[in-house]
Amino acid sequence: MDVFYDPRCGIYLNGKSYYISYYLPNGNRVCRTLGSKNRKVAKRLMHQKEGSLLNGQFDERDIKKMPELRTLNGPRLRINEAAQEYLYATSAGRKPKTQINDSYTLLSLVSRFQKEFVDEIKLYDIQILITELHEEGKAQASLKTYLGILKKFFGWLEESGLAEIKNPVKGKVIIPNSSGLVRDRLPSFEEVAVLISDECAIQPLVRFLAFTGCRVGEALHMEWQDVIDGVWMIQRKPNCPTAFGLGWSPKWDKSRQVPLIKEALEVFVSQPRISRWVFPKTNGTRRGSLKRSWGSMKERNRIVDFQLKDFRTWFNHLLKSYFGFSSKEAASYIGNSPRINEVHYDPVSIELVSKKVKDGAATKLLQDETNRIGIAA
């Protein structure tokens, strides 16, 4: 209790009832009815309240105006416990894989705070965390994702009443500029040719990724029955086993039909039917990841900056620049919205631009047009 705190109260008549007025230790004023029309009774209740305030005894209505007292008197919520509560309470709307990924990310982030309780986390702590992650080489897009996760977490804590806090991410958090929000790398034809020619266990799968632009998860869960008359039906499969249980669906639950081009169809037809999966392990079980084998393939061919998702970018470029697809058609084929397709999967090829630009092309066009309408250029 603050030694300078003055618990004196006052009463006043408001209408037909007496009201009490006093200040709490945090400076907040309280005015409320005493429920009595008698001045003597009101004064007696006032003196009782003064005694309670002097002894540091506050009722529930006082505590509502003293959130700091609620935190100090009750058990303070530890940051890791708060994260577990949040993940459990909000798990109903997540897929198992998303729940695992979100849990890992959030728990990793909150473990980096040099604080024990959620009410200790301020905007400064959020900014320091983002700065540290930037110094560790995290991409700008990753930093933005992490900040969004923390904003949802602390916002939920604030609104749920689980802890008396104000969301520290509501303030202005500066995200340092780095490599940009999207990966802007177009693999060369030489790189793709080398990789799809590497004879190894995952070569068919790599060739299929290159010639469909599909996501890795779509290819790993591909079954023979999914292709009908050369068209790959990518859709929800309730009975398809996954690493997280029964039931698989494409990203955003967005189904699509993909007419396979000749090269992709050749890969599909050439695969041995040893199990339900088109691209299984050698023992017929579903392949869960390409991390090791993909790393070895790149190392053998001395290729460093190449991610599996870059095949999507390369094939999207192929569809638009060489097959004449519109952005909407290409987006539909590889499973994106047109806007995402433009932003994430359509880098400019300097080589192709150079081929399209020829000396004198503009002059010749001008001459042709002026001659057509009978004007001398």
Identify the residue with better confidence: 342 or 36.
36
Percent of the chain residues past pLDDT 90, beyond the cut: 54
Identify the residue with better confidence: 353 or 275.
275
| Residue 84 and residue 33 share a domain | no
Predicted local confidence at residue 294, as pLDDT: 96
Residue 178 belongs to some domain of the structure: no
What confidence category does residue 212 fall into, taking pLDDT thresholds of 50, 70 and 90? very high
Looking at the predicted structure, is the pLDDT value of residue 377 above 50?
no
Residue 230 belongs to some domain of the structure: yes
Residue 297 belongs to some domain of the structure: yes
Residue 358 belongs to some domain of the structure: no
| Residue 160 and residue 291 share a domain | no
Written as six digits, the tokens of 99 are 């729940």
Taking all residues of the chain, what is their mean pLDDT, rounded to a whole number?
86
| Residue 336 and residue 214 share a domain | yes
Written as six digits, the tokens of 134 are 């930037």
pLDDT tens string 301-321? 999 999 999 999 999 999 998
| Residue 31 and residue 105 share a domain | no
| Residue 110 and residue 43 share a domain | no
CA–CA gap between residue 376 and residue 180 (Å, rounded): 49
Which of 83-87, 185-189, 234-238, 344-348 comes out lowest in average pLDDT? 344-348
| Residue 319 and residue 195 share a domain | yes
What pTM did the predictor assign?
A: 0.61
Examine the fold and report which residue of 25, 45, 73 is the final residue of a domain before the chain moves on: 73
Give me the CATH number covering residue 336: 1.10.443.10
CA–CA gap between residue 52 and residue 257 (Å, rounded): 73
Residue 49 belongs to some domain of the structure: yes
Predicted local confidence at residue 47, as pLDDT: 92
Looking at the predicted structure, is the pLDDT value of residue 121 above 60?
yes
* Burial per residue of 240-257, b for 16 or more beta-carbon CB atoms within 10 angstroms, e otherwise: bebeeeeebbbeeeeebe
Q: For residue 152, give the amino acid letter.
A: K
Examine the fold and report which residue of 109, 142, 170 is the final residue of a domain before the chain moves on: 170
Predicted local confidence at residue 139, as pLDDT: 82
| Sign of the Cα pseudo-torsion (39, 40, 41, 42, in order) | positive
Cβ atoms 292, 326 nearer than 8 A: no
CA–CA gap between residue 279 and residue 262 (Å, rounded): 18
Which of 68-82, 96-110, 153-167 comes out lowest in average pLDDT? 68-82
Neighbours of 318 (CB within 10 A): 18
Residue 372 belongs to some domain of the structure: no
Q: Give residue 151's domain range.
A: 79-170
Predicted local confidence at residue 69, as pLDDT: 60
Which positions ≥6 away from 281 have C-beta within 8 Å? 287
Looking at the predicted structure, is the pLDDT value of residue 339 above 90?
no
Predicted local confidence at residue 357, as pLDDT: 43
Residue 145 belongs to some domain of the structure: yes
Q: Is 163 helix (H, G, I), strand (E, B) or coil?
A: coil
| Residue 133 and residue 93 share a domain | yes
Residue 208 belongs to some domain of the structure: yes
Predicted local confidence at residue 376, as pLDDT: 47
Looking at the predicted structure, is the pLDDT value of residue 365 above 60?
no
Predicted local confidence at residue 367, as pLDDT: 62
| Residue 340 and residue 256 share a domain | yes
Give, in order, the Cα–Cα distances in Å from 185 to each of 66, 294, 310, 316: 54, 18, 7, 12
| Residue 35 and residue 154 share a domain | no
CA–CA gap between residue 243 and residue 280 (Å, rounded): 14
CA–CA gap between residue 240 and residue 194 (Å, rounded): 33
Give me the CATH number covering residue 152: 1.10.150.130
pLDDT tens string 15-71? 889 999 999 988 889 999 998 899 999 999 999 999 989 888 888 788 777 766 655
| Residue 92 and residue 208 share a domain | no
Cβ atoms 259, 231 nearer than 8 A: yes
| Residue 135 and residue 88 share a domain | yes
Which positions ≥6 away from 151 have C-beta within 8 Å? 167, 169, 170
Examine the fold and report which residue of 43, 73, 103 is the final residue of a domain before the chain moves on: 73
| Residue 165 and residue 88 share a domain | yes
Give, in order, the Cα–Cα distances in Å from 45 to each of 6, 36, 37, 51, 60: 17, 9, 12, 10, 17
Domain count, the chain: 3
